[in-house]
A and B are shown apart, each in its own frame.
Chain A
């Protein structure tokens, strides 16, 4: 029996598949950058791709919401002409882990909410996603089981699971089906393959276990009680206010908007650039008043934007468990430790 939603790619065909795909489309995938660092970069062959990788330095949000992006171009040399613009390209991302797919799902919700952000949505419409399942934990920083992002849950066009000699591939969209057809190299999945996938997922249950002693559904209640917790004082003493944690976060999307004018002072552009709520001036207003002066309240704000505030607006947590904030923190602030401290605090004990 065949299953049309699933296909098989034998490992010996993987490089051919990538070469063929990269001839048809611009393709980006995780690439090894040395010292246990990986980055999504353009690739043309399978050999360039790191199939086993820990979360990339920057998440794939950099394709959806570029670090630096023009929003408006204007010219006042002859009257005023001002056009809102976007630049986009079609691209396929290969090898996106389930945590990062969850991050993209979060950003899609944010930018689809009215008033919509056309720049983001146009980028998003032109990006196809090929997911890749994690067979084991990337490292000790991940909390993907807690956030329930360790298993595929939509948000991709096709999804690869490594079953040893072959990948079993779930086809989720028409665009995904086109990728399968256009590249060739795929075979129909038989029930034996599906059985192997089922038994692989069963084994996976023994590998991925709740990283912290708390139920996901109770975390927002924990945060409701923890606004005045002394745990935030501890972060105040350690945080360097560098903004690494928000830059690398797959669901952080705060930005600044700035103008740049040409040397003739006749035309210019307005662009957005990633910003961080961890930086001192982020919540400052004209006249000098700053509504989040301390690193304590800025860190607290970051955690509440992952574990409390999005629950009201989007009915989901904005932590994907990828571990990047912990991995990139120069001061050793670890998300799992912060959550553990909150659970163990007097506010946490009331649960």
Chain B
């Protein structure tokens, strides 16, 4: 057997340094990463990267920052399994590996000039933050912006500092809701879908970016369709456990589609007939 080093392997990693770590909730941390040699990640909002924690393994994580920031990027990670728990133990200065970005993100070219309704449920805010930050970076390119954020309870809320800023802005309508009210919560209680009937949107020129756990998609899409939002203007990001990221390993397959290459962002019209989508 002869061993050779591959220069152009799909499995080559770029070295990333953890610049900073912010504890967001009990189980989620925000990692700021810089690639070696000042390389740009060059991602679209909604794309994901494969993150290597050496010795533990590699996992797909959505990018949480705007592509307008060239120097570093953010990953919001919940400690859920072996790799994420190990990642949570790393500290600033530690190295991780990055492959990607992979897949199709939110179609910025199509979204520009239109109104946006961004609906985040739970950890769904992590990928949507890349879109939200990008839209704020290029605010004049977009019409009306609505952001609806639903969470299990107030202790699970992500990006609290930023949410405070979003609430203050007069060029965005922001509303949040929790499933379970705790004494510190003075806001609305219920599912994020219950906020949809109350908002003022022009369905013809509104594109919806909807990300959350699989269970939220059916009720949310039903509400959106009842508000006459066209199916192809409903954009959702599907979660799968990608292993390769390059459309080979089969783990992310949704019938004939590979979530890692054909998604993770899909428009509802394109996947509504797929039985295994969510």
Contacts and interface: CB of A to CB of B under 8 A. Distances in A.
Contacts of A309: 255-256
**A contact face: mostly helix, strand, loop, or mixed:** mixed
B250 interface: yes
Contact of A257 (B1, B2, B58): B58
Contacts of B12: 72, 82-84
Given A85-B4, A268-B54, A268-B55, A257 B240 contact: no
B255 A255 contact: no
Interface of A: 71-72, 74, 76, 79-80, 82-89, 110-111, 113, 115-119, 122, 227, 253-259, 261, 265, 268, 270, 272, 275, 277, 282-287, 289, 291-292, 297, 301, 304-305, 308-309, 312-313
Nearest to B214: A289
A259 B57 contact: yes
A253 B246 CA distance: 13
A71 B167 CA distance: 47
A86 B3 contact: yes
A176 B10 CA distance: 31
Interface string B152-182: 0000000000000000000000000000000
28 contacts: A71-B11, A80-B54, A80-B97, A84-B7, A86-B3, A86-B9, A115-B246, A115-B247, A118-B9, A119-B9, A119-B11, A122-B4, A227-B275, A254-B250, A255-B244, A256-B249, A257-B57, A259-B55, A270-B11, A270-B52, A272-B244, A284-B241, A286-B239, A287-B80, A289-B213, A297-B276, A309-B255, A309-B256
Given A118-B6, A119-B6, 18 more contacts: A72-B13, A76-B95, A82-B12, A88-B4, A110-B248, A111-B248, A113-B247, A115-B247, A116-B10, A117-B246, A117-B248, A258-B57, A270-B11, A272-B244, A282-B250, A283-B251, A292-B276, A312-B256
The 6 closest A-B pairs by CB, nearest first: A84-B9, A254-B250, A261-B55, A309-B256, A84-B12, A115-B246
A255 B248 contact: yes
Interface residues of B, number: 46
Contacts of A110: 248
B8 interface: yes
A275 B242 CA distance: 13
Nearest to A257: B243
Nearest to A88: B2
B78 A275 contact: no
Contacts of A254: 249-251
Nearest to A292: B276
